[in-house]
Amino acid sequence: MWINDYTEIEKYDHSKMNIVLYKNIIFYNFKFYTNKENIKTCSLHSRNINIFSPLDIENIKLNDTPELFNKGILLLESFHWNPAHMIWDFMYPSWYGLYINNTKYSKDIDFQWITTLNFEDIHVHTHKNIVEKFSGSCLETLESFSNKFNKPIIIPWLITGLEGIGIGHISKENLLTNRGIEINNIDPIELFVNRIYSRYNIKRNSLVDKLNINECNNIIFIKNKRPFNGMENLFNKMNEKYNGKYNFKIIDYSNYNFEQQLNILNTTCLCIVGVGSARFNTPFLPNGAIEIQVLQPNINYKNYIEYLDGHSGTLSKYVKINNIPYYTIEEASNNSYSHLLEKYIDDSLIEIPCKVPINLEENIPVEIRNLKYHKNYNEKFDTWRNMNSNIVEDLINLL
């Protein structure tokens, strides 16, 4: 049985983070049991739905002596079909409970992920391999796990509760993602990313270590479902301009599995990407890298630019985000790249490796950052978040 190796954690009120640790909890016939005084209630979902609490062990009689299960368990409701939400609203917040309760073991210990929903309901079929690679165990549901044991078992530790951590949770004060706390100067996002690289047996590069710069000379544009015209011509021009010093590549993630995506990101110094799920892979870039966020040209919005997921760039403190500030009406009408992009690329390459750690507020576009100064901001922010919207125009329209 392990205990918390980091006593500094006691200064934080974990109850506000909805994370609960149970030690030596009994599992039997689809249910968890513990002593009545230990029972707490928490949410198994990042949006504070599907409430969970174990049952009072006094309510059952165990005819068999429980066997000891050989791993701890992270319990949550489900995973998500969208890879960004799966990683940052389910995997990360669930693993964060282990980080909070035992930072040392969260780095590399194997554990068992169990979902309360059955496989047909958890939308994990396309990402199950990532979940299992990260945990070191086959994913189980309560049903499948219970079917493996016809007698009570003791779980050495069970951690549950997701509320308040991840990309679904944005701070009203500064519009940053709730990344969670640092323990003994250990950044949870960095530890999570490093664990993923380690689980795929990939040595993670860092541009802060200048010895690795020559290994990270890729400059990539990640395609998404939104049309973005002219990038092929620009990248052909840039490949000629830099004459082999950098490799300018247009990447379609649908052609690569997650491990292949990691290998691409690990050798990239500059990532150009628009709004949507693809940019949530930015924390997997080498430390000191830069993302150019092109956002999305849109004829209907201010500065002819569309804002979505503005907090995406606030996960990693070790990657700088340079945001395209506007489009011309012609660019927006034609869904073409910004005339500013070439200069942004040139300037970013001069700046790499960027200075770290980053002031994360500076990774947010200025137009979004300034919303907090609006007189109605505090009131309307809550309305916006209750809409479950990451579209910043929804907030702007409320102000």
For residue 333, what is the enclosing H or E element? helix 329-334
Using the Cα atoms of residue 80, residue 263, residue 269 and residue 218 in order, give the sign of their dihedral.
negative
Contacts of 336 (CB under 8 A, 6+ apart): 228, 229, 230, 297, 330
The answer to whether 131 touches 91, Cβ cutoff 8 Å, is: yes
- The domain limits of the chain are 7-178, 222-364, 370-399
d(CA 25, CA 57): 9
For residue 305, what is the enclosing H or E element? strand 305-306
Q: Is the peptide bond before 297 cis (omega within 30 degrees of 0)?
A: no
pLDDT in tens, the chain (399 residues): 444 443 333 444 444 568 999 999 999 989 999 999 999 988 888 877 778 899 999 988 887 788 999 999 999 999 988 899 999 999 999 999 999 999 999 999 999 999 999 888 777 667 899 999 999 999 999 999 999 988 899 999 999 998 789 998 999 999 999 999 999 999 999 999 999 999 999 999 999 976 566 789 999 999 988 778 999 999 999 999 998 899 999 999 989 999 999 999 999 999 999 988 888 999 999 999 999 999 989 999 889 998 888 899 999 999 999 999 999 999 999 999 999 999 999 999 999 999 999 999 999 999 999 999 999 999 999 899 888 777 888 888 898
Query: What is the pTM for the complete model shown?
Result: 0.93
